[in-house]
Amino acid sequence: MLSLQDLEDVAMKVMSHKAVAYYSSAADDEITNRENARAFSRFFFHPRILRPISQVDVSTTILGVKSSIPIFASGAALAKLGHPLGEVNITKGAGRTGIIQMVSSNASLSAAQIAEGRLSPSQPLFFQLYKHGDNKIAEKRVREIEQLGYNAIFLTVDAPVSGNRERDIRAPYELEEQEREGQPTDGQTAGEMPRQPDDVEKEIEGQPNLYGTAGALLQNMDLDMTFKETIPWLRSVTKLPIALKGVQCVADAVLAAEAGVDAILLSNHGGRQLEYALPPLEVLYKIRQQRPDVFDKLEVYIDGGARRGTDVLKALCLGAKAVGMGRPFLYAQSAYGEAGVVQTVRILQREIILGMRLLGVTSVDQLTPELVERVDWQPL
């Protein structure tokens, strides 16, 4: 296993049809998903020579929490579809390698089970929140997360409704009991409702569920969130740092900074929500060009399509503090469980150290915009 692609290839051989469909699918014709990755290939380096590079430090902090490499696992649902142990594979792998896992609101295991899976109580975890439409229920959820010792809340803002993922819709989508053993079934949490018996009834009556696995998950969502109300509300119910996950344009990055959140994750949900949403790397580049002041007000991360150490270095050069990865960690744990997650981090660490040396830098704060250039041609 030399690259993340190697791990993905193994995962594709061992996963069920349903898991492949749910993990790899994206919206409509999956163009945004493909372009998320292709965007990285439009940025080229200006490597510097004759600089000392024997001592390289690739560590950083994310929302004040130490991370061994500038990468985190983005919250992605239903790890048990790919491996019987589910999300704790990522928890343990992250703990062993010193990176941070963001736990999905739609994890196969409960937030408590995942917290218990940490190697030690001091191992950091972030929580990805799908906000319930009822503030009281949402508040209860946030307080539970805080009590469990999670270190930050990533409020997902790009998925009030589920995108049109046709490969997922076509796949058999019933969630098996064992895949959701830790989840409440009383409707008390947003985005965590398995399909209900009457959904099946409706389908029998000829109304197909057109939302696939994702549609079964995104229920009770708050469809009326706003910068003015939702951010102050979240601040009032938690002391944890708050990040917005799913910022997709410069204007919203500016509004997020004005709203006083601690961080934004530029993301289009891995191309799974609005087809033709711009790749996060391009959004990052636009912020760098148009509103570089945003980088002084909050931490900026991106996710979507990053698969190589050089992808991460490009994002950091443009001002990102860290890069998230969704599918790579799902595939890694599907292929080899915890060991796959450890190997994923090792591969990325090696690629980042190598890339930094060849760029002529020895710490992540030396990665600056002058070291990259956006070209207007697309390599083959």
CA-CA distance, 24 to 18, in Å (whole number)? 10
**Sign for the pseudo-dihedral over CA of 276, 282, 286, 287:** positive
Taking CB under 6 A as the criterion, the residue among 101, 104, 123, 334 binding ligand FNR is: 104
**Sign for the pseudo-dihedral over CA of 56, 58, 60, 65:** negative
The tokens describing 379, both together, are: 């390599």
In the complex with ligand FNR, the residue whose CB is nearer, 106 or 183, is 106
CA-CA distance, 162 to 150, in Å (whole number)? 26
In the complex with ligand FNR, the residue whose CB is nearer, 270 or 337, is 270
Show the site string, 230-249: x = touches ligand FNR by CB under 6 A, - = not.
---------------x----
Please say if 83 is a catalytic residue.
Answer: no
Question: Is 267 an interacting residue with respect to ligand FNR (CB under 6 A)?
Answer: yes
Could you tell me how many residues of this chain bind ligand FNR (CB under 6 A)? 24
Q: Which residues contact 50 (CB under 8 A, 6 or more apart)?
A: 360
Taking CB under 6 A as the criterion, the residue among 327, 331, 344, 348 binding ligand FNR is: 327
The tokens describing 252, both together, are: 């919203």
Q: How many residues does the chain have?
A: 380
Sort strands 322-325 and 71-73 into parallel, antiparallel or unpaired: parallel
Amino acid identity at 48: R
Please say if 130 is a catalytic residue.
Answer: yes
The tokens describing 157, both together, are: 């803002």
Taking CB under 6 A as the criterion, the residue among 128, 164, 183, 344 binding ligand FNR is: 128
DSSP 27-71: STT-HHHHHHHHHHTTEEE----S---SS-B--EEETTEEESSSE
CA-CA distance, 337 to 157, in Å (whole number)? 30
Residue that is written with structure tokens 């994923």 in the block: 344
Question: Is 179 an interacting residue with respect to ligand FNR (CB under 6 A)?
Answer: no
Residue that is written with structure tokens 């001002």 in the block: 319
Give min distance, CB of 327 to ligand FNR, in A: 4
Give min distance, CB of 234 to ligand FNR, in A: 15
Q: Which residue is nearest to ligand FNR (CB)?
A: 326
Please say if 22 is a catalytic residue.
Answer: no
* Residues paired with 66 in a beta bridge: 61
Of the listed pieces 74-82, 231-239, 335-343, 349-357, which binds ligand FNR according to CB under 6 A? 74-82
Kindly identify the residues of this chain, within the stretch 292-321, that bind ligand FNR according to CB under 6 A.
Answer: 303-305
Give min distance, CB of 244 to ligand FNR, in A: 11
CB count within 10 Å of CB 358 equals 15
Question: Is 325 an interacting residue with respect to ligand FNR (CB under 6 A)?
Answer: yes
Question: Is 194 an interacting residue with respect to ligand FNR (CB under 6 A)?
Answer: no
Give min distance, CB of 154 to ligand FNR, in A: 7
Give min distance, CB of 280 to ligand FNR, in A: 8
Active site residues: 130, 158, 269
**Interface residue list for ligand FNR (CB under 6 A):** 22-23, 36, 74-77, 104-106, 128, 156, 245, 267, 269-270, 272, 303-305, 325-327, 330
